[in-house]
Amino acid sequence: MNSLWLQRFVPRPQARARLFCFPHAGVGAAVYRPWSLALPADLELCAIQLPGRANRLNEPAITHLPELVSAVASVLQPHLDLPFAFFGHSMGAVLSSEVARALQATGAPAPRHLFVSGRRPPHWPNPDPLLHVLSDKDFVTEINRRYGGIPPEVAEHEELLALLLPALRADIHALETHLPPASRPPLACPVTVFGGSDDPLTPRAHLDGWRGETQGAFRVRVLPGDHFYLQAQKDPLLADVLATLAPLLAQARPRETPA
């Protein structure tokens, strides 16, 4: 399973389903490594690894979301032999939902459930000034003001910052230039939306806005914390995801293994 685009941290040979996880801007698949250790044996976590970070650091990061969507949808095709769900936080919420749409549009197997977190719906206009047009210095300052996403030890270390910035800038550019139509067919799968109670970037109205993205069941859950609430709230968040997927796991068959 491990490839340039997909990372499987804990093998699950008896898996009945897969959970594909999409990271937030600027980071790699490893952000979901702790999740792998907390999942049951019948659910296999596969994290998306975008170019320009971790083991793909020498590849140019992709700056346009449609290109990312097309690439990820293509890479996933051989791994859709089991029932699966998507989870995406922040940028990952947008990318996962657009990949779900791409799969649905082509008649490929589609996710049985979409979990999105910490982001407004893809077609909602950006209420904030653009980040990708800023100088590196102003970009870092504004990213930290809005998200608090760059630790001081990284922001103050020129070499580390130089490694981080290309992927982060590419992801922000992809997000800020993505303008899907406001009217398009909804997703068929159920959608669960998570958010942090103290996240100023994603108020409750933004979470509720995902209701229009699906014709399936819809639910919002707010957990304590800011934009990165899911770090401190990993246990209740995963408990919710697993409870939601329990009926799917109960019905699914484990994949066949060679004799």
The interaxial angle of helices 158-176 and 65-76, nearest 10 deg, is: 90
What DSSP character marks residue 108?
-
Cα 18 to Cα 44: distance, rounded to the nearest angstrom: 5
Q: Residue 244: which H helix or E strand, with range?
A: helix 234-251
The two three-digit tokens of residue 198, written as one number: 């103290």
Question: Residue length, the chain?
Answer: 259
> Which long-range contacts does 198-201 make (Cβ < 8 Å, 24+ apart)?
198/224, 198/225, 198/226, 198/229, 199/118, 199/225, 199/226, 199/227, 199/229, 200/226, 200/227, 201/118, 201/128, 201/146, 201/147, 201/227
Cα 221 to Cα 63: distance, rounded to the nearest angstrom: 31
Cα 219 to Cα 217: distance, rounded to the nearest angstrom: 7
48 in Cβ contact with 124 (< 8 Å) = no
Is 90 assigned a catalytic role? yes
Write down the catalytic residue from 90, 96, 97, 117. 90
User: SS3 of 221, please?
Assistant: strand
- Which positions are catalytic? 90
